[in-house]
Amino acid sequence: MSFRLEPRANPSLALKLAVSLVAGLVALLLVAIPVLFAGGNPFSAYGLIIQGAFGSMFAFSETLNRATPLILTGLAAAVAFRARLWNIGAEGQLYIGALAAVLVGSGLFAMPPMLLIPTVMIAGFLAGGLMMVIPTMLKQRFGADEVVITLLLNFVVILFVQMLIEGPLKDPLSMGWPQSVPLLAEAKFDKLVPRLRMHWGLIVGLAAALLLWLMVRKTVLGFEIKAVGENRAAARFAGIPVNATMLKVALISGGLAGLAGVGEVAGVKGYLSADLSPGFGYSGIVVAMLAGLSPIGTVFAALFVAAMFVGADSMSRATGISNYLADLVVALSLLCVLVGGFFLRFRVRYERRPALAEGR
Amino acid sequence: MDVLIDIFGSANFWAAAVRIATPLIFGVLGALICERAGVLNLGIEGIFVAGAMAGWIAVYLGAGLWGGVLIAALAGAMFGLLHAVLTVILGLSQHVSGIGITLLATSLSYFTYRTALPSVTSPPRITPFQPISIPGLSDLPFIGPALFAQTPMTWLALVLVAVLAFVLYRTPLGLAIRAVGDNPASVEAQGLSVQGLRVGAVVAGSALMAVGGAFLTLSAFDAFFFGMVNGRGWICIALVVFASWQPGKALLGALLFGAFDAFQIRLQAEIGQIVPGQVFLMLPYLLSILALVVVARRADYPRALLQPWFKGQRH
């Protein structure tokens, strides 16, 4: 018996779905080990996570609320990775988007209330987009690696935000807490259901997923992204404007992450603080990979990741097991779906020994 | 101007520069070994956290300080092995695997720390490495405090630079490691195992990264804090490009960086009234970005970096 690897040309949709589902399940199974290590019962922990994430209307609303920024940062990673642009800077782009939202939405500039929400969203999108366009231009102009630059920019942006909310943007009524001046009431997103925290940002996220799906499937830009992602040299040879395409991808990717920041400010907090995002940018990478970079899949992957975080919080309150368990599930599902990608690329065949060795 | 003279004239400044550089030396050397063998290891940030946590908790539970360093190295080697299996054996994306390793190592470290110490308000402390003071030499101006007021881990880092330079440039193993990152086909033609060399390099490099993390909890500080690594791993990835993958230049880069960081901390104390503190805290990251942009055009990346190799493949 021996193994043989055969390249698989086009994995079916069913296989892709199976890989993502199995990856999530394996990650959940693997965290049974740390749960046991922490002295808990894995099955009751799973039960509490599911109950905490979906057990009531309130719980489900919290999960959707948490999924909202993850859909957008997930889409940000998905569209960039499709073009093989390694945007690991969604965390910083999210904060810059949130900052732009506060700058235009807190009454510093006078404008008709009707225009506030669109302006806030456009400003957040452009600010986040610019934050990704810059490293992309540095890559094109100087050959500087965008991975490290976007990673390092995350730290720069968060310090920049801290500087502003402790300085010129600080809310004088915040009792000394470092938080920004609040958004005007007209700039805030409405709640979807009274008394529940989920807000219109969710609709924005779903619309973005749909638009991105249409873009990928039906537009010239979608085709160009595919070509650039598969083989940059061949795309250039075929006359596709590779640099321009990459810049468009950067703008869209950073912009989506910026919108995630707008949603957190306009839909959840109402102001900007340095703890706005518990790593939504980094989790977005996991969401995109779990979704196989599919825009529609991103919505479901974001729901899974959000459910883990919300469920683990409530599991942690009930059992005392650390809620870092959610981060473990998320990290493990990224590695599992990566391994799953191996089975999408290759078909593993078992073979009997070659005929000669069997003595025929 | 007086401010600058005060800063550069103080012995503390030079001691701090070398102290800040030490974890980076370990990290850059670790990243250098991985990348010389053709594997980008973005797990570095998480491996730093894992090394800091594992080393600290081992000492907290009663191991000796060097025992803690060893445990940290083992933890790093374990995550390195995982990264190597995914990227070298299975040939999967080095970017995604590295990010995954960082997320996994970080969350596993935080989870373990929380589980082992469920309800502590202030982090418990250990007795860290103490500076080795050599009578006579420690009193030399500048050089004295910079070199002879450091802990044994700094000495270990400096020795490792020389060892790594020797191994890379003067031994058959080093030749094989450099070749496997530049031209794996030639290595296979020699009858050596490309995948074996790469796995070994990633495991060894990751162990070094973790020792860099352990320096933070066993030498620079005496406790483990969440978020204490704070991008040091990513800075190492930038520094290794700046050092054009050479151990000597890696040392120089880390020392320059340490000097700059020590300088901004002192400058902050002097003119912090006028300029917000965050401006100074941003400088190290901005400097890393600048260094990366400046050297990028003539950076001589190992030619097979990011490219998986399957045994017997035709190229």
CATH assignment at residue B10: 1.10.3470
Q: Which domains does chain A have, with CATH numbers?
A: 2-358 (1.10.3470)
Q: Which residues of A touch B111 (CB under 8 A)?
A: 34, 38, 322, 324-325, 327-328
Asked if B85 has any chain A CB less than 8 Å from its own CB, the reply is no
Q: Which of B96, B111, B207, B90 is nearest to A31 (CA)?
A: B111
The answer on pLDDT for A356 being more than 60 is no
Domain range for B257 is 2-117+143-296
The structure's pTM equals: 0.93
Q: How far apart are CA A306 and CA A300, in angstroms?
A: 10
Asked if A342 has any chain B CB less than 8 Å from its own CB, the reply is yes
* Type of residue numbered B231: G
Contact B278 A160 (CB under 8 A): yes
On whether residue B93 sits in a domain, the answer given is yes
Which regions of chain B are under pLDDT 70?
1, 9, 120, 136, 138-139, 141-146, 272, 314-315
For a pLDDT cut of 70, what percent of chain A falls above it? Answer: 97
Asked if B231 has any chain A CB less than 8 Å from its own CB, the reply is yes
Least confident segment among A88-92, A190-194, A224-228, B136-140: B136-140
* Type of residue numbered B272: G
Least confident segment among A204-213, A329-338, B212-221, B270-279: B270-279
On whether residue B292 sits in a domain, the answer given is yes
On whether residue B303 sits in a domain, the answer given is no
Report the pLDDT value the prediction gives residue A96, as an integer from 0 to 100.
Answer: 97
Q: How far apart are CA A60 and CA A198, in angstroms?
A: 9
Q: How far is B67 from chain A (nearest CA, A)?
A: 23
Q: How far apart are CA A284 and CA A149, in angstroms?
A: 18
Determine if residue A209 is left, alpha or beta; phi over 0 gives left, psi from -120 to 50 gives alpha, anything else beta. Answer: alpha
The answer on pLDDT for A71 being more than 80 is yes
On whether residue B42 sits in a domain, the answer given is yes
Please give the average per-residue pLDDT across A40-66, as a whole number.
Answer: 94
Asked if A285 has any chain B CB less than 8 Å from its own CB, the reply is yes
Report the pLDDT value the prediction gives residue B148, as an integer from 0 to 100.
Answer: 72
Q: How far apart are CA B205 and CA B56, in angstroms?
A: 20
Contact B92 A342 (CB under 8 A): yes
- Assigned token pair, A356: 């000669």
Mean pLDDT over the full length of chain A: 91
Report the pLDDT value the prediction gives residue A306, as an integer from 0 to 100.
Answer: 97
Q: How far apart are CA B56 and CA B71, in angstroms?
A: 9
Report the pLDDT value the prediction gives residue A352, as an integer from 0 to 100.
Answer: 65
Least confident segment among A146-155, A183-192, B43-52: A183-192
On whether residue B61 sits in a domain, the answer given is yes
Give the chain B residue whose CA is nearest to the CA of A290: B96
Give the chain B residue whose CA is nearest to the CA of A136: B293
On whether residue B243 sits in a domain, the answer given is yes
Report the pLDDT value the prediction gives residue A358, as an integer from 0 to 100.
Answer: 44
* Number of domains forming the structure of chain B: 1
Q: Which of B9, B109, B88, B107 is nearest to B41 (CA)?
A: B88
Residue to mutate among A155, A169, A315, with most B CBs inside 10 A, is A155
On whether residue B125 sits in a domain, the answer given is no
On whether residue B134 sits in a domain, the answer given is no
Report the pLDDT value the prediction gives residue A357, as an integer from 0 to 100.
Answer: 46
Q: How many CA atoms lie within 13 A of A56 on its CB side?
A: 6
Contact A151 B95 (CB under 8 A): no
Asked if A163 has any chain B CB less than 8 Å from its own CB, the reply is yes
